[in-house]
Amino acid sequence: MNKTVSLLKQNNLLRTIDDELDIYLEIPHIAYIEVKKPQSKALLFTNVVGRKNKKKFSEPILMNVFCSPKAVELLIGDGDAIGAEISALLKMKPPSSFMDKLSLFNRLFHLKSVFPKRLKGRGECQEIIRLGKDAKLSDLPILTTWEQDGGPFITMGQVYTKSLDGKMSNLGMYRLQVYDDHTLGMHWQIHKDSNHFFHEYKKAGKKMPVSIGIGGDPMYIWCGQAPLPIGVFELLLYGFVKKENAQIVKSITNDIYIPRDVDYVIEGLVDVDNLKIEGPFGDHTGYYTLEEEYPFMEVSAITCKQNPLFCATVVGKPPLEDKYMGHATERIFLPLLQTTVPDLIDYYMPENGVFHNLILAKIKTFYPGHAQQVMHAFWGVGQMSFVKHAIFVNADAPDLTDHEAITEYILNRIDINDLFISRGVLDALDHSSPRFAMGGKLGIDCTGECVDTLQVNLLDNALLLEKMQTISLHPKGTSSSLTAHVKDLKQYHLHTQNPICVISVHKESSQKELFEALKPLYKHFKILVIVDEKNNYLDNEYMLIWRVVNNIDANRDLYFGENCMMIDATNKNELDGFTRRWPDDVACTPSVIASLKERGIIDIDETFEKEFLL
């Protein structure tokens, strides 16, 4: 990681902070704020303490290493160029000339670097070795990011596992909860390779070896979150991109191989017969994921370099570091996705859709129902199967990252009477579905011509709000007016065929009842979106999209009237027949923010706090 620090510093992408700062909330709050700035930088914290346990740490903490597009290009490479190289490999044909043979030989020669190289002896990551009771997790500066977190979590751990028969290896990046000095939670989700391996060991009645790397080449981190097919070892991708073999060494107390140059290695065995409650944890969805049972590791060794750096990331509401990592992933994996969906031109996963909640895809359409066919393909392939909401546009659509233009294109092509609503597997972090890891999916076909729908009789915001608030409805013989619960209103994209009206409410009933009460006003809106009054600002379109795609289940929260539809993006509870516990938003601790401001470590105003719902 010291090479990384030097590289970032040379390119003016590093800010060093020498103030004494706590691993509990302070350091992660600073990183959370930094990555939201337009010119964000990586952060090196050199004066790290744990005030709760009166500890002073000698190692610095590095955060926001993937802080910008420039940083990603320096540390990973040009995503488009790497994607083009993958595409060329996938399209290789038998050579027809001497020059073709030379070109093919050159490509195949470079592939010799793909496979990890096992080294004899020890690596730099094993210069210091602590075993058994001396291997204490509390000796590492592990962060507690959010006030409601279940404890400290390792957030950039490279989790190395292998199948029971040793034929398959896996590198994943999962959050890891510290329970005590020698016990670490394994948050590998039900769809991950590590979880499949776990069940192999469980069936055999054997404890499962795991080694966790921290730091080293940032490419290891990126490879750990790459959406490779099941059974493909992620370090193969390292060799392909870097054009050099990943050099790996055997762990001290188990037979897992890890990169020789990581800063730390935590080794141990997973008990296959027992689970522990893991969480809560403020995750990248911007919500806390609630307590669930997960496996845990009994630590047998902690090794490190002589002068290690501790690497961590922070997750919560977007935008975050994964924004920049995710863009590289999109570019590099487009050719692989095109092998399953050959008519796919491009795709884009906006960071405020937290990647698995919203995807835009541009396709070549040749026949009726083509977009629906592609939807099925998307929802059946790898990590794309977790996507909740997919919008498909035609080849003539604007660039998918031109937010204003693509939004207008989409809204001019939505036919609310022809939406594709399905259900299937969801990411385990999803909180809005009625069932864990399974729920509604929405596909919108915008590949056709501009729709010609009944025009809306538009009113200005103040007048439409007044009409909503004065409609009288007395449900079940009471004198309560549902529409009086409408607190504010703002309309977007009024020049399109499907203008959007967003209202905030003080919720005391099912919003289906409110939608029915508004029937006299259907002619004044086309798409009505309802959010809670609390923690939402109707002029913040970026965070409204984040809220909506997080909070809805397409099977439950879409309602249709004559020529209009409603999307209920409120927090769900017993009024909606929702039986799961709804989690809180991730939010910074006000006293910590106030202290950091007072000490001059952060400089943000109320506008910034409101923009990102801090």
For the chain, the domains span 2-312, 341-446, 461-576
Position with higher pLDDT, 438 vs 481:
438
Distance, in Å, from the CA atom of 192 to the CA atom of 213, rounded to the nearest integer, reads: 18
pLDDT of 473 > 50? The answer is no
pLDDT at 105: 45
pLDDT of 479 > 50? The answer is no
Residue carrying structure tokens 């508004």 = 518
By the 8 A CB rule, do 251 and 301 touch? yes
SS3 575: helix
C-alpha distances in Å from residue 385, one per residue of 5, 228, 423, 437, 585:
37, 13, 11, 11, 25
Q: Are 341-446 and 461-576 in the same CATH fold?
A: yes
List beta partners, residue 178. 184
Name the CATH architecture for the domain at 2-312. Answer: Roll (2.30)
Q: Retrieve residue 355's tokens.
A: 């990647």
Mean pLDDT of the chain: 91
Containing 239, the helix (H) or strand (E) segment is helix 235-242
CA atoms within 13 A of residue 351's CA, in its CB half-sphere: 19
Name the CATH architecture for the domain at 341-446. Answer: 3-Layer(aba) Sandwich (3.40)
Q: Label residue 88 by pLDDT band (50, 70, 90).
A: low
Q: Label residue 358 by pLDDT band (50, 70, 90).
A: very high
pLDDT at 378: 82
Q: Retrieve residue 607's tokens.
A: 């506008």
Distance, in Å, from the CA atom of 485 to the CA atom of 530, rounded to the nearest integer, reads: 11
Position with higher pLDDT, 189 vs 297:
297
CATH 3.40.1670.10: does it fit domain 461-576?
yes
pLDDT digits (tens, 9 = 90+) for 124-134: 999 999 999 99
Q: Give backbone dihedrals phi and psi of 23, rounded to 5 degrees, phi first.
A: -70, -20
**Which strands form 61-63's sheet, in the order they lie side by side?**
14-17, 42-45, 61-63, 310-312
pLDDT digits (tens, 9 = 90+) for 439-459: 999 999 999 999 987 788 999
